[in-house]
A and B are shown apart, each in its own frame.
Chain A
Amino acid sequence: MELSSFETNQIQSYLDAVGERLLGTEHDETLAGIESHIYDAVEARRAGGEEGNLVAAVLAELDAPEKYGERPAAVAAGGPRMSKLVIAGACLPAAALMPMLIGLNLDRDYHAAKAILVALATGLMLLGIILSKVALQLIKRSDGMLTGAGLALTFYLLPLLGAVSLIVSSFFFGKVLPDGPGAERTAAINLGIMGVCVLGSIAYAWYEVRSTRRAIYTHN
Chain B
Amino acid sequence: MKTWVTQLRKGLIEYCVINVLNGSESYGYEIVVQLKELEVMDVTESTVYPVLTRLKSDGYLKVRSEPSKSGPPRRYFSLTKLGQQRLQEMNTYWDLLNESIDTLRQSNGAA
Contacts and interface: CB of A to CB of B under 8 A. Distances in A.
A36 B73 CA distance: 7
Contacts of A68: 46, 50
B27 A1 contact: no
A33 B75 contact: yes
| Interface residue range, chain A | 20 to 34
A30 B73 CA distance: 14
Interface string A36-49: 11111111100000
A1 B71 CA distance: 7
B99 to A, nearest CB: 35
Contacts of B32: 37
Interface residues of B, number: 23
B50 A36 contact: no
Interface of B: 27-30, 32, 44-46, 49-50, 52-54, 56-57, 68-75
13 contacts: A1-B69, A1-B70, A25-B53, A29-B56, A29-B57, A36-B27, A36-B72, A39-B72, A40-B28, A40-B68, A41-B29, A43-B71, A63-B46
Interface of A: 1, 3, 22, 25-26, 29-30, 32-44, 62-63, 67-68
Q: Nearest 7 pairs between A and B by C-beta?
A: A39-B71, A40-B29, A43-B70, A63-B46, A67-B46, A29-B53, A33-B49
